[in-house]
A and B are shown apart, each in its own frame.
Chain A
């Protein structure tokens, strides 16, 4: 082997070292930026599913639909965690503020399904403590291992929640809310919410892996029967809820409840939201740091490879 070859190989090694540095240093910087090495990490055992901003946004969006459709919407998330989940004080967008004690919501402008005629005109302000007999009393009190296949069975009169649903609110690791606010279930304000629909999300939590391993959706209403297989109708499945952006998918499932009720013919359509001017500087994010990291790596590799060949070629020519 000639001395020219040795030198070109040394140069090649140095180029490789530089390329490796170029490759891994942005990744390390990215990990540091994301707080990978921070000591104060989020405690996933007690962190609320929705933070203040997220829960405030959900309440605001459901409130607009509830006013338009005359149906209150809520959510119950059984995150299957046994620790005390931190309480959230919602942060509402703009000037919005929920009105949990407001007058009853307007009647929907169009309803594909007729309103029950047996409904009393003067609804009592307090809900009776004994449950109506329209719902089966043998509802399971423990979570089934396999999802039961239910069919939609219209309930003739508005009623309260099933015992399981009502008991859910007292469980640990359960978060709930509605268009009336966080920690308010629609049936707790019957004077405001004669009709309600609630999406229930049941997660299975692995305390070892500190993440959800499975999830299941269910929709219960007090006026039109339960909605079977909401995950199929909303195209949001358990794997979406436990995967990347699972929180966003759960928010989609809750936010899509008014659309689901409309598509099932149980509520009128949601009118168009008023056009909103885009605030200055509010834009879609660009390609993101990841794109530029990969772009830098790619260019570094190409330049390094070409430089290696060029240096070797020059040295070989000089040696000759």
Chain B
């Protein structure tokens, strides 16, 4: 019985650990930090005096995104529970914080083909060249 308790307990403990990692891995949402750091200009919209590159760099340094896209229209940061868009606005930039589905729809012209696709299967820029598969 003692062996079963130790063996079974170890197996179950290992399973619980893997379950916790699988459920909670992926970084925290930057929404709170953004709302405390940048002035709000609208619902889930904020303003930064810096340009998109610098602003996105600040956000990414504070909350590491799961993925990011930079294109001529702005910088887009992807988190487990949010998509942050940083686009040019005058001399500074406009920051939006959306749920993943809403952010993907809002910025589809930039994100389509990178993060999503038909049936949720993406993505281009994931390989083909020698940088792939590492």
Task: State the A residues within 8 Å of B (CB).
Answer: 5, 8-9, 12, 15-16, 19, 42, 44-45, 47-51, 53-54, 57, 61-62, 64-65, 79, 81, 93, 205, 210-212, 233-236, 241-248, 250-253, 255-260, 262-263, 269-270, 272-279, 281-286, 291, 294-295, 297-309, 311-313, 316
> Could you tell me if B131 and A270 are in contact, using CB atoms closer than 8 angstroms?
no
Q: Using CB atoms, name the residue of chain B closest to A179.
A: B72
Residue B44 lies at the interface, judged by CB distance under 8 Å to chain A: no
Shortest Cβ distance from B101 into A: residue: A284
**Is A279 a contact partner of B5 (Cβ separation < 8 A)?**
no
Chain A interface, DSSP helix/strand/loop, else mixed: helix
How near does chain B come to A168, taking the closest CB pair, in angstroms?
18
Q: How many residues of B contact A (CB 8 A)?
A: 66
Q: Does A283 lie within 8 Å of B113, measured CB to CB?
A: no
Closest CB-CB distance, B17 to chain A, in whole Å? 8
What's the minimum C-beta distance from A297 to chain B, rounded to whole angstroms? 6
Cα distance A299–B16 in the bound complex, in angstroms: 8
A247 CA to B12 CA in the complex, in Å? 40
Chain A positions within 8 Å of B100 at CB level: 284
User: Measured between alpha carbons, how far is A242 from B129 in the docked complex, in Å?
Assistant: 11
A47 engages B129 (CB within 8 Å): yes
* CB <8 Å contact, A282 and B112: yes
**Distance, CA A278 to CA B8, complexed state (A):** 49
In the complex the two chains form, what is the Cα distance from A62 to B73 in whole Å?
10
Q: In the complex, what distance in Å separates the CA atom of A34 from the CA atom of B2?
A: 42
Given A93-B113, A282-B108, A294-B21: A273 touches B118 (CB 8 Å cut-off):
no
Contact B22 A246 (CB under 8 A): no
CB pair B130 A211 closer than 8 Å = yes
Q: Which of B1-48 contact A (CB under 8 A)?
A: 1, 3-5, 7-16, 18-19, 21-22
